[in-house]
Each structure stands twice: as structure tokens, then as C-alpha cells.
């Protein structure tokens, strides 16, 4: 895991779990305090549920974030939503307490459980937002990957097209080179049957030329050296012979 992702995990999901654990501790302490006074067990359970349940949502939700498919880089974003929920309900309850006709019996406890609810609500909204952002990022990564694959396929297609063009040109050249000695051989073939020595030499030359062309084809097909006779020639003599 990259350093940036590790920092996001440490600064995001663990902070969320720590906030949840704090609310669970406060809820437990509140319930125990209520039980020490002449109050019913139901009152203690209700007080615990008001703060403890949102705290458990934050505690286990933050702990299990790495097990989800959510991008770790979004953990701090989720924590930001928790703070937004915390601050939003805190401002709201403060405004209500400023109203002359509104009386809050237990201001501190009221602030505690509404901020717990706000933080848990912000966490749920943050998880939804982080999932959407993660899905968007992965779709973008898939789109870029498909684009790269498309470019690679296009490049390969262009290479194959150029190879096919070269093969077509080579086939046309080869057909021309083979037709010429075959035509010569066909011309002198009948004369050879009549015992014409010159005609026989021409046919032999044409067949030798065909054999050389076959050897060239084998060299190209096998991509290896073949047994081709090599000898030094004088260009002037070759030109005069042509």
C-alpha cells in the first residue's frame, strides 16, 4: 500500500472508530450513572441507546472500512462528513436553545446525543458519497485502460496492414519473376525436344532462375540463411551480358 493510502487509513477510518469509541464510553458512563440513582433500567438503556448506538455505528463502521471496496483515499472524506453532521446538529441545537420558549432540561446530554446522531448520519452519507466517488474513479480507470487497449489494437492493426501491403507487393514481384523464366522455358521447350542444344541451355537457365527464386522464398519464409552460391562478378560484364 502506498504511503498516501496508509496515511488516509490512519487519519480516516481510525479517527472515525475513535470518535465512535468515545461516544460508546460516554453512553456507558451515562447509563451507569443513571443506575446509581433511583431510576429504572429502561431509562438507563434509553440513554445508552441514544448515544451508544450511533457510537457503535461509528466504531464498527470505521473499523470495517478497509474490508469494503471503498477507495482508502476517501476515508478522510468520510470523516469530513462525520464532522459536518456533528457541526450541523450542534449549530441547530444551539439555535434552538437560544429561542426564548425552548427549555432544554439537560443541555450537555442533549448536545451529546444529537451530535452522536449527527456524526453517525454524516458517516452514512459519507460512505454513500465515497462509494459513488470510488465507482466513478474505477469507471474512469477502466475507460482509460480501454482507451490504451484500443490504441494498442489500432497500432497492431496498422502494423498488420503494412505487413499485408508488403506481402502483396512481394507476391506481385515474385509472380512476375517466376513468369519470366517459365515463359522462356515454354518457348524453348519444343525446340529442346527436337535436339536443339541452345534451346536446352535456355531451358536450363530458366529452370535455374526458378530454383534461385524458390531459394529466396525459403530464405524469407524461414528467416534464416540458405545455401546460396555467392561469387564476385564484374558489373561491366553483367551489364554487357544484359
Q: How far apart are CA 89 and CA 77, in angstroms?
A: 19
The pLDDT score that the predictor gives to residue 238 is 41
User: Between the ranges 9-13, 28-32, 100-104, where is the mean pLDDT highest?
Assistant: 28-32
Q: Are 192 and 200 in contact (CB under 8 A)?
A: yes
Is residue 233 exposed (0-12), middle (13-18) or buried (19+ Cβ within 10 Å)? exposed
Kindly list the domain boundaries of the chain, sorted by start residue. 3-150, 167-241
pTM: 0.61
Q: What is the DSSP string of 170-188?
A: HHHHHHHHHHHHHHHHHHH
The model's pLDDT over 150-205, given as tens digits with 9 standing for 90+, comes to 999 999 988 888 888 887 777 777 777 666 666 666 666 666 666 666 666 766 77
The model's pLDDT over 26-84, given as tens digits with 9 standing for 90+, comes to 999 988 888 887 767 888 888 889 889 999 999 999 998 888 888 888 899 999 999 99
**Which set of grid coordinates corresponds to residue 161?**
496492414
The model's pLDDT over 120-156, given as tens digits with 9 standing for 90+, comes to 999 999 999 999 999 999 999 999 999 999 999 999 9
Amino acid at each position: 500500500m502506498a504511503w498516501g493510502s496508509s496515511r488516509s487509513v490512519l487519519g480516516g477510518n481510525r479517527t472515525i472508530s475513535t470518535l465512535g469509541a468515545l461516544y460508546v464510553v460516554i453512553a456507558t458512563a451515562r447509563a451507569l450513572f443513571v443506575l446509581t440513582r433511583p431510576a429504572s433500567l429502561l431509562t438507563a438503556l434509553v440513554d445508552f441507546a441514544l448515544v451508544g448506538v450511533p457510537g457503535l455505528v461509528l466504531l464498527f463502521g470505521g473499523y470495517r472500512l478497509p474490508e469494503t471496496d471503498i477507495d482508502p483515499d476517501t476515508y478522510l472524506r468520510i470523516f469530513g462528513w462525520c464532522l459536518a453532521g456533528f457541526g450541523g446538529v450542534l449549530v441547530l441545537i444551539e439555535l434552538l436553545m437560544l429561542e426564548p420558549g425552548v427549555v432544554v432540561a439537560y443541555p450537555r446530554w442533549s448536545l451529546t446525543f444529537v451530535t452522536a446522531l449527527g456524526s453517525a448520519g454524516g458517516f452514512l452519507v459519507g460512505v454513500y458519497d465515497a462509494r459513488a466517488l470510488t465507482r466513478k474513479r474505477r469507471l474512469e480507470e477502466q475507460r482509460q485502460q480501454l482507451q490504451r487497449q484500443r490504441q494498442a489494437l489500432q497500432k497492431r492493426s496498422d502494423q498488420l496492414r503494412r505487413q499485408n501491403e508488403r506481402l502483396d507487393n512481394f507476391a506481385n514481384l515474385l509472380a512476375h519473376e517466376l513468369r519470366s523464366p517459365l515463359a522462356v522455358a515454354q518457348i524453348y521447350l519444343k525446340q529442346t525436344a527436337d535436339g536443339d542444344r541452345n534451346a536446352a541451355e535456355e531451358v536450363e537457365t530458366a529452370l535455374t532462375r526458378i530454383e534461385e527464386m524458390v531459394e529466396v522464398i525459403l530464405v524469407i519464409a524461414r528467416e534464416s540463411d540458405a545455401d546460396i552460391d555467392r561469387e564476385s562478378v564484374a558489373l561491366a560484364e553483367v551489364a554487357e551480358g544484359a
